[in-house]
Amino acid sequence: MITGQIKSQTDAIWNAFWAGGIANPMEVIEQMTYLLFIKRLDELHTVREKKANRLGTPIEKPIFGPDQQKLRWSVFMQLGDAQSLYDTVADRVFPFIKKLGGGDKDSTYSAHMKDARFTIPTPALLAKVVDMLDAIPMADRDTKGDLYEYMLGKIASAGQNGQFRTPRHIIKLMVEMMAPTPTDTICDPACGTAGFLVAAAEYLDQHYRDQIYASPEAAWRFNHDTFHGFDFDSTMLRVGSMNMLLHGVENPAIENRDSLSEGHASVAGQFSLILANPPFAGSLDYESTAKDLLEVVKTKKTELLFLALFLRLLKPGGRAAVIVPDGVLFGSSKAHKTLRRALVEEHKLDAIVSMPSGVFRPYAGVSTAILIFTKTNSGGTDQVWFYDMQADGFSLDDKRTPLDADRHHSNNLPDILARWTNRDAEAKRARTEQSFLVPKADIAGNDYDLSINRYKEVVYEKVQYEPPKQILSDLKALENEILRGLEELEEMIQ
């Protein structure tokens, strides 16, 4: 989490934008993203430059050519007057970043950047914001992410369609539980800023770097064919594309697609792993909902339609780890029950991780769960693993203060990952414990209710009371003591 000082600096930048005439929160985010992107490009080039100098070799994948050095943040920062800075950024640097990634026809990034506009209105505002951004210490990679999270948090808490950002430590947990490999084709059908795809790319780079770059073909697959994201917000598509490019993925397939309102013939059955936190609130008319989704479950609720979409997009054997509101787990409508029954009986339901309601604060207080399943089209559910997450490493109030990450009662995430990895041993655990396995027959017998409270057993501590005669004797003694006190008071006032 970022410090109070960095928050104050970020607040000052935000206020500078507003005072300078940019009042739309999304526009502020977009323009700040461009500037952070430009700054990050210079940092990445500097790292490659230092490595090349140390090894005495040419720079590997240089971002700036010999004739583009004036476009670097560290160089144009030194310009003496605001007008020169503005002319350089608006007329040279911004057009440069629009064409990164392979040119207009070759890159999804450059395709989404076609409509990008540099809208900072005055040289004075740009100079002020550039100076303020440069003053924020962002050498630590986590600080950059936290800074961006804090910026995004200034947008309206849940958005028009019930959208809110997934905390990065929850994303990381889900990715580690699914343990993607270089052969996976990964999709987030509601990708937003591409947080899940970025985390999956980082996981693959950390665990399979040698395989990813073992050959030109393997590297091409990682950069072009591994990551897929859908969103219908053009700003989010640009931000997501920049996010992926900064994390080393040159050309992810991030598409402008309204996932629930289109046919899916072109992408149905294509993906081996889905990671997502789709919008919860809201409903769609039957007329505007893709017919193939209504064939899976007839409903207007977006949270159920997204689950139907995941089943359509996965190939047989494909896996999904997605966040759902608790209502999906126990809702009593026909659509809720139909979908839960399909997951249990027609596919393989692997796990339910119940999360506390404070995980998404201060943006929303909704109770949620991580739903993990495998598409089989032939059943396969034997036992479902349940985990009752009670702490995620942060306070569950609006402040979300970091807690002691090494203590289990403050942070259950390491325990979740360890027990999930060795879940065969969970069969011996009683339902009074924090995690346990539930046979499919029990779930079917409960009308496919998937809420953990349906199966978790609560043990109440036995309280030993005194015998009734002793209690009555104690009451009489107490009453006599009160009467003596009253008599003493009467004597004092006579």
- Whether the ω angle into residue 439 lies within 30 degrees of 0, i.e. cis, is no
Residues 176 and 49 in one domain: no
Q: Are residues 143 and 221 in the same domain?
A: no
- Please give the pLDDT value at position 228: 95
The 3-class SS string of 446-469 reads CCCCCCHHHCCCCCCCCCCCCCHH
pLDDT in the model for residue 110: 72
Task: Please return the burial class of 25, using the count of CB atoms within 10 Å of its CB with bins 0-12, 13-18 and 19+.
Answer: middle
Whether residue 449 is found in the same domain as residue 470 = no
Instruction: Give backbone dihedrals phi and psi of 108, rounded to 5 degrees, phi first.
Output: -65, -35
pLDDT tens digit sequence for 232-260: 888 888 888 888 877 778 789 898 887 77
User: How much is the pLDDT for 462?
Assistant: 75
Amino acid at site 413: L
Q: What is the pLDDT of residues 443-482, one digit of tens each?
A: 999 999 999 999 998 776 777 888 898 889 989 999 999 9
**HEC-encoded secondary structure of 383-451:** EEEEEECCCECECCCCCCCECCCCCCCCECHHHHHHHHHCHHHHHHCCCCCCEEEEEHHHHHHCCCCCC
Sequence-separated (6 or more) residues with CB below 8 Å from residue 146: 1, 2
Distances, alpha carbon 164 to alpha carbons 48, 361, 429, in Å: 35, 10, 35
User: How many domains is the chain built from?
Assistant: 3
Domain match, 470 and 445 both: no
Q: Which stretches within 179-301 are classed as H helix?
A: 195-212, 216-224, 234-246, 291-296
In a domain, 459, yes or no: no
Say yes or no: 102 and 189 in one domain: no
Closest by alpha carbon to 236, among 300, 287, 280, 191? 191
- Residue 288 has a pLDDT of 61
Whole-number pLDDT of residue 281 = 62
CB 194 within 8 A of CB 252: yes
Both 438 and 482 in one domain: the answer is no
Residue 205 sits in which domain range? 168-454
Residues 257 and 362 both lie in one domain: yes
Establish if 160 belongs to a structural domain. Answer: no
Strands (E), 210-347: 227-231, 253-256, 271-276, 314-325
With a cut of 70, list the residues of the chain below it in pLDDT: 1-3, 101-108, 138-149, 152-164, 262-265, 281-290, 292, 460
Q: Which of 90, 125, 152 is the last residue of a domain?
A: 152
The three-state secondary structure class of 276 is strand
Q: Return the pLDDT at 159.
A: 45
Tell me the backbone φ, ψ of residue 151, rounded to 5 degrees.
-60, -45
Q: What is the pLDDT of residue 488?
A: 87
Q: What are phi and psi of 7, to 5 degrees?
A: -60, -45
What pLDDT is recorded for position 146? 65
Residues 189 and 277 in one domain: yes
Both tokens of 161, joined, read 């369609």
Residues 6+ away with beta carbon under 8 Å from 338: 297
159 assigned to some structural domain: no
CB atoms within 10 A of CB 156: 11
Q: Identify whether 162 is part of a domain.
A: no
- Rounded CA-CA distance 325/371 in Å is 10
Please answer whether residues 33 and 192 qualify as being in contact, where contact means their C-beta atoms are separated by less than 8 angstroms. Answer: no
Whether 472 maps to a domain, the answer reads: yes
Which of 122, 152, 182 terminates a domain? The answer is: 152
DSSP character at residue 69: G
Q: Are residues 373 and 261 part of one domain?
A: yes
Half-sphere exposure (Cβ direction) of 441: Cα atoms closer than 13 Å: 0
pTM of the predicted model, to two decimals?
0.81
Q: pLDDT value at position 158?
A: 38
> Does residue 194 sit in the same domain as residue 98?
no
Q: Please report whether residue 470 resides in a domain.
A: yes
State the DSSP H helix or E strand holding residue 194, giving kind and residue range, or none if neither.
none
pLDDT at residue 319, as a whole number: 98
